[in-house]
Amino acid sequence: MRPLRLTVNGDTLETAAPAHWTLLEVLRYRLGLTGSKQGCDKGDCGACTVLVDGRPQLACLTLAALAEGHAITTIEGLMPLHVAAGGDGPDPVQGAFDRCGALQCGFCQPGMMLSARALLNRNPCPTRGEIREALSGNLCRCTGYTQIFEAVELAVAESLGVAPAPRAWEEQRMKPAEAQEQARRAAAALAAARERNDGGPGARS
Amino acid sequence: MERYIGRDLARPDGPAKVEGRAVYVADLDVPGAWVGGVVRSTVARGLLLGLDFDPGFDWRTVAVATAADVPGENVVALIADDQPLLVAREIEHWGEPLALVAAPDELQLARALAAVRPRIEARAACFDLERSPRVFKSIRVAQGDAGAVFRDVPPGARVVEGTYRTDSQEQLYVETQGFVAFPPASDGSVTVRGSLQCPHYVQKALARALGIAPEEARVVQLATGGGFGGKEDYPSVLACHAALLARVARRPVRLILGRHEDLAVTPKRHPARVRVRAAFAADGTGLALEADVLFDGGAYTTLSPVVLSRGVLHASGPYRWPAAEIRGSVVATNHVPYGAFRGFGAPQTCLAIERLMDRAARELGIHPFELRLRNALRPGDTTVTGQRLEHSVGSLEVLEAIARRTGFDRHAWGAPHAESGPRRRGLGFSFFFHGAGFTGSGEELLRGRVSLALLPDGRVEVLAGSTEIGQGTQALFTAIAAEALGADAADVVLATPDTARVPDSGPTVASRTCMVVGGVLAAAAAELRQRVGDGAASWRERARAFLAGGGDGAVTRAYAPPPGARWDEHSYRGDAYPVYGWAADVAEVFVDEDTGEVDVARLWTAVDVGRALQPRLVTGQIEGGALQAVGWAHREVVSARDGRCEQDRLATCIVPTTLDAPRFDVTLVEVPYPGGPFGAKGVGELPMDGGAPAVLSAIEDATGIHPAQVPATPERILDLLVARAEEAHA
């Protein structure tokens, strides 16, 4: 057994575990934080993704001992951290995932949402291509990914105060002019925001 | 005015899932639980002569179960009782369970598993479905005299034929399979909790294996991380193993498969070889169809007879064939048993008929869209089983929608390419249908039930055995119940699928949860609404008044087949399915002729869902199913060597990532089905059928080769390109 002192979701927690245990094992089976999932234990599926100092990291490939001294964020911490930062209720990523159909079975979603949160922290207005790239380490077998991309885009659009571009199946139920106008506004807001952010604080690193 | 139909409801399971609070089996905190493991065969066929237990290991520290410890029958009860829970003597596949071990922790378990030494005499095994010595099931569908058309081809008519092969496919639910079993209670009853699709299948299997009555076996579903058919039959094996270990160890046992083990031993899609030939008049009108369907069932029967049935019944494609003969067999090999995977036999035969239609279009000089349109089943037509299509036949509507959305009907498919360089663009097409609900008399025999219970506060509890596995059962059932009751969504409470509480609604399979079970739910809710009565007061106020007045707030309804439905299981004639979903896909691909790599850039799909009760959910089903189909089309390789799956981890068992997914464009077509709740019909499996043929069709458009095997890997495409080049030189 090795004593461990970990900073998880803003709290400093002390526990002990065999020296070879991974961060995922300690989170799940010592600290009771079972929101981080084990899908493969080989670093392939991304279901165990947590944030370490704000960057996505695979907890199943991280020795718990090496996580000491770093700030760890798990899915359980997203809402409390959002509230602590002055937000109201769940993290916007969580709300958007829930409303967009981005989650079906839900098993890959904790890791997926943490990857998305890390993306938005470093790039508040990502393009579809940047979203695809950032989430490419997180496998989902249910959704076909589109509603996940749409969730991230919804979170972005809401942060800019515009409606997101209508999805194909929504657009077919709208008046063509109305759909075009909504898509145009979303694209314009996104482009303006990207211009503002380019090179400024919080820009892509 | 409908309040909940056609409008997206918040998922009842959403908040717990996005906040990481949903409890999956591995998240269950069970004090004192041991961990279980399985000793497996290392040969694909042989005799188990005995099990040696290393005397150097302290066997008092663990619990062990062998075939001799099975208190009931040593079978996995499903269709045929040919599969043992634990091998007694004959080994039929690699990884077959020989013994079970439970230990206080993973380390001790690993030591104990290594200390069991099976003595095995290997025997010659069969891995070739075309050389199998044993047939599990054969089916023949015949209409008219197809043989006569091919013997004496009418003047001007043309015969087109092909042989198409499809490899296996892994479901790849991201949560591996697992159960926690509890030791028998003092009254002998047993409880298991786990990741599963069909609680009552598991209950029946437990009762047989443990020698107890079904009601003494309690099965509780936990949050389930995907299924896609993969958690239809195998959970019965795992639950029985876990329960047996809990019984021997006299304590709770967690039996959760690691990814290696899950990939190695759980059932996957049946590999298939389909020979098909068709005769067409010069104008493209189909005259006759013959198909010879052969599925590899693997070592045991599992669900193979039903998979074959669906395969055979979809081999005609959604087309009119005045004469047809379809013969199918599923045979035994020493592969790990194959089982259920979304589509359930239909994707294999759909691939064959759609590739044949493309080949016919080329040979007849008719546009592939036009050929499909000319032969498409229309309202009033009869299928190859003699079923007259009356309701919700959206065939022409989906064809019209996909043409409008993509212009494929004007695309010069198969024309020589002008562009230079190795990267070739192509568009491909598929048209397909899928029977919703169980085949033939299945639903009538099953009579799936749903119960409703008025709670003291006036809310309504829905009791159903249908499981939420991600597809949206909870949101759908809430919307259907609230709409049919005339209540608020907040007035509806869903019971956890727990066999101690919910009736058998039938399994969560076969695109039946929304259409069949949802239909029973709507009928039950309408009955309760009638009892309570409408009025100006809120539902809860009226319901409380009804209860206070001594009203009976418990309703149970069972499935009632549509009037006039008929099916003859012996001749395979009649109404094969209550109704069909219809769809058409267009795929856009880029093929690199230097490497054989395929990039599926876009996929348009138009789907007749009857009625989109929850547009966002049904779109998610369509996109998710279509991506599985696209993955199978060209990327997802599953192969076996000496009966052992070669893809033993996610680094080699490849499924599409965010970077691989095409841009989807989904058009929902609504031709309401009067037999379904608010017009809906089943849609879960349909999107799996058309993706692969559309992608292969697009590869053909891009390159001129005719891929005849799924997956169309770069190696296979290069082989065809090389053969084409050699032909050009000859």
Please state the domain extents for chain B. Answer: 30-125+171-265, 272-439+572-729, 442-558
pLDDT score for B563:
83
* B73-114 per-position pLDDT tens digit: 999 999 999 999 999 999 999 999 999 999 999 999 999 999
Which residue ranges in chain A fall short of pLDDT 70?
199-205
* B391-447 per-position pLDDT tens digit: 999 999 999 999 999 999 999 999 987 777 899 999 999 999 999 999 999 999 999
Question: Would you give the DSSP letter of residue A57?
Answer: E
CATH topology of domain B272-439+572-729: Aldehyde Oxidoreductase; domain 4 (3.30.365)
Nearest CA among B673, B669, B450 for reference residue B578: B673
Which residue from B minimizes the CA distance to A105?
B470
Dist CA A62 CA A22 (whole Å): 5
pLDDT score for A202:
46
- Assess contact for B169 and B633: CB atoms under 8 A: no
**Chain A window 119-178: which residues touch B at a Cβ cutoff of 8 Å?**
131-133, 135-149, 167-170, 172-173
Query: Same topology for domains B30-125+171-265 and B272-439+572-729, yes or no?
Result: yes
Contact B174 A139 (CB under 8 A): yes
Pick left, alpha or beta for residue B513 (phi over 0 → left; psi -120 to 50 → alpha; otherwise beta).
alpha
SS3 B53: strand
Contact A75 B19 (CB under 8 A): yes
The first and second tokens of residue A56, run together, are 């996505």
- The packing angle between helices B539-548 and B518-532, to 10°, is 70
pLDDT score for A26:
98
Q: Which positions in chain B touch A39 (Cβ < 8 Å)? A: 174-176, 225, 259, 650
A2-75: CATH superfamily = Beta-grasp domain (3.10.20.30)
State yes or no: pLDDT of B664 exceeds 70. yes
Mean pLDDT of chain A: 93
B601: confidence class by pLDDT, cuts 50, 70, 90? very high
Mean pLDDT of chain B: 97
A90-197: CATH superfamily = [2Fe-2S]-binding domain (1.10.150.120)
Specify whether domain B30-125+171-265 bears CATH 3.30.365.10.
yes
Dist CA B169 CA B4 (whole Å): 37
* A73 in B contact zone (CB under 8 Å): no
Give the number of other Cβ atoms within 10 Å of residue B72's Cβ: 17
Contact A94 B19 (CB under 8 A): yes
Please give the backbone phi and psi of residue A76, each rounded to the nearest 5 degrees, phi first.
-65, -25
Please give the backbone phi and psi of residue B443, each rounded to the nearest 5 degrees, phi first.
-70, -35
* B98 in A contact zone (CB under 8 Å): no
B323 bridge partner residues: B288
| Cis bond upstream, residue A3 (ω within 30) | no
What is the percentage of chain B residues whose pLDDT exceeds 70?
100
Q: Cα angle at B476 between B621 and A175, to 5 degrees?
A: 65
Give the number of other Cβ atoms within 10 Å of residue B451's Cβ: 20
Q: In residues, how long is chain B?
A: 730
- Assess contact for B518 and B463: CB atoms under 8 A: no
* B65-83 per-position pLDDT tens digit: 999 999 999 999 999 999 9
Query: Same topology for domains A2-75 and A90-197, yes or no?
Result: no
The CATH number given to B442-558 is 3.30.365.10
DSSP E strand boundaries for B229-381: 253-256, 272-280, 286-298, 323-332
Dist CA B434 CA B423 (whole Å): 34
At position B42, the amino acid (one-letter code) is T
Place of tokens 């009632």: B560
DSSP E strand boundaries for A54-119: 55-58, 71-73
* B601 in A contact zone (CB under 8 Å): no
- Cβ-based burial of B258 (10 A; exposed 0-12, middle 13-18, buried ≥19): middle
